[in-house]
Structure 1
Amino acid sequence: MQNRNKQNIKVIDVSHHNGTIDWAKVASDGVKGAYIKLTEGTTFLDKKSYDNYIGAKNAGLRVGFYHFAHADNDPIAEVNFFLNKLGSMKVDLPHCLDLEENKGKTKAQVTAFAVGWMEYIERKTSITPILYTGYSFIKSNFTSAVARYPLWIARYSGSNRSKGFANPGDTAIWDKWSMFQYTDQGKVNGIKGNVDINEMDLDFFNSINTGVTVVENNKPSAQLQPGDSGLAIKEL
């Protein structure tokens, strides 16, 4: 696959693990986009997702959400949960399926889950999703059935994780990455501790870029609904 390029777009991905973020400082550090964890499985809503959304949007960043998948679930149920929690929040980046655990499933089963998830969300939203996964996970868990979806690949370089590989290496399924997570130990102003840093391929960015819509500080109604349970309800 292609090498990293200085013209590519700097994107971070965050979750509640990154604590409270000063998004104005993040934007001033050359970051142009942020993927925010929204959901996991069919029950978990990230408690920082909405605050991160408001902060990143109003700092001028392109914003997208990712869903951490459990391959032993029904992919349709996972998509419906993700979209329910997304509500009226406005995205600038494609929805992301984060699939990095096979949950004991076979390659055919993991692939079927991924294709089912991505096909369904594409039908529901008219947005082609992106697939996030690790380099070593691809060979053992995916077939070429996922090839039509853009790849967000993660691979680090051991003791030199802060700089990362020049490229993640080759795969039998994709010959190009759309985004490359080259470190999980990055440093960005406005975030305490380490943060995942990615390069988004410039051509891919240009193909999806529609600009940023600044949003009002009103919590989307779909964040919590009658019948919901779990951490968010306990906190409320």
Structure 2
Amino acid sequence: MQMGYGMDKSRRGKRRIIAAGVVCVTAAVLCAFYGYAVYCGLIQLNNPSKKRYPVRGVDVSHYQGTIDWPVLAAQDLDFAYIKATEGSSHTDEKFAENWEAAKDTGLRIGAYHFFSFDSPGESQLKHFTETVPAFRQMLPPVVDFEFYGDKKVNPPDRETVCAQLDVMLQGLEAHYGVKPVIYATEDTMHLYLEGRYEAYPLWIRSVMKKPDTGNWNWVFWQYTNRKKLNGYEGDETYIDMNVFEGDRDDWEFWSRNYEMGWNYRPVTAFPRGTGT
């Protein structure tokens, strides 16, 4: 009798181990599937309400390849930012083509510059202004201020970087007649921008959650880099999606009063909602 009891106990122990193993394997499979679904854009961690954020747009570069702008624009978009330059010498190979084609779509368009931590602000400014021709209804220029390479683990000195960023921002405002927008990640915002650049409109990247920018109200939010739309064929399958902080009346007010040569009126004048 004692031997039989011991065998039953052993069997129960084995069943528990097997059950625990099945649970662990199932959880691992589900986690892997969830991660894959997020990576492929099947699941979006952020899904801002269209009622709360009706104004939407994309940002594009040569990675989207040749863009059929009428097709892209017809997918409930209001604006597009197009990569123009990077650092002191690189020009996006698709900029000129995209810039001219996008003008005929009815979208509000603007150009952005990818800021280099390794290049003087003055030469970056010169490169952008010589590449991007101004026209009356363009959106304000954007400085894309994010880490690249090993900069996140080895961030450059704040004062050194900000001195060059100041040159670029002030030069853009002098050249185009409007304050440029700063695109930032939460990392670069906290490390370099907070407490110094709140006078500039903020475009924040936060693809995992709704952004927390403290007292610096954002104007644009890049909520995903895993959206699939029609109208482009390039190395990149996905496209970045963004929302504007405000309703359509706010958008008309902001975009049309922020045209070339007009005075900037800050978006903080708009009521902020709490929904997502």
TM-score (norm 1): 0.77
User: Do the aligned partners of residues 139 and 153 (structure 1) sit closer, same or farther apart at CA in structure 2, a change above 3 Å counting?
Assistant: same
Distance in 1 (alpha carbons) for counterparts of 2:188 and 2:111? 21
Percent identical across equivalent pairs? 30
**Shift in Å, 1:91:** 5.2
Provide Cα deviations, 1:17-58, integer angstroms capped at 9, x if missing partner: 111111111111001111000000111011101111122111
- Do the aligned partners of residues 88 and 108 (structure 1) sit closer, same or farther apart at CA in structure 2, a change above 3 Å counting? closer
Residue in structure 1 matched with residue 96 of structure 2 by the alignment: 50
Q: Report the counterpart of residue 134 of structure 1 in structure 2.
A: 185
Query: What 5-or-longer segments of structure 1 have no aligned partner?
Result: 158-164, 212-236
In structure 2, the residue matched to 1:234 is none
Residue of structure 1 in register with 2:124 after alignment: 78
CA–CA distance in 2 between the matches of 1:190 and 1:130? Answer: 27
1:110 & 1:143 partners in 2: Cα distance? 14
Secondary structure, aligned partner of 1:58: coil
Unaligned runs of 5+ in 2: 1-47, 258-276
Letter in 2 for 1:180: W
Q: Which residue matches 1:201? A: 245
After TM superposition, give the deviation of residue 88 of structure 1 in Å.
5.1
Cα pair distance change 1:188/1:105, threshold 3 Å: same
Deviation at 1:133, TM superposition (A): 0.8
Structure with more helix by fraction: 2
* Shift of residue 90, structure 1, vs aligned partner: 5.8
AA of the residue aligned to 2:116: H
- Equivalent position amino acid for 1:198 in 2: N
SS of the residue aligned with 2:146?
coil
Cα deviation for residue 73 of structure 1 reads: 1.7
For residue 98 of structure 1, give the secondary structure of its aligned residue in structure 2.
Answer: strand
What SS does the aligned partner of 1:34 have?
strand
Q: Does 1:191 align with 2:242?
A: no
Structure 2 CA distance, aligned partners of 1:66 and 1:91? Answer: 15
**AA paired with 2:60?**
V
Q: Which residue of 2 aligns with 1:9?
A: 55
Alignment of 1:96-115 (within 5 A): 96-101=142-147, 103=151, 104-115=155-166
CA–CA distance in structure 1, aligned partners of residues 134 and 194 of structure 2: 34
Give the whole-Å Cα distance in 2 for the aligned partners of 1:91 and 1:47: 23
Distance in 1 (alpha carbons) for counterparts of 2:65 and 2:238: 11
- TM-score w.r.t. structure 2 length? 0.66
Matched residue type, 1:64? G
CA contact (8 A) 1:155 1:168 kept: yes
- In structure 2, the residue matched to 1:181 is 222
In 2, Cα distance between equivalents of 1:19 and 1:209? 27
CA gap of 1:205–1:118, structure 2 versus 1, over 3 A, is farther
Task: Provide the secondary structure at the position in 1 that maps to 2:203.
Answer: strand
Q: Paired residues, what number? A: 199
SS of residue paired to 2:82: strand
C-alpha deviation, 1:200, in angstroms:
1.4
142 and 136 in structure 1: CA distance in 2 versus 1, 3 angstrom threshold: same
Residues in 1 aligned to 2:134 and 2:158: alpha-carbon distance in whole angstroms: 35
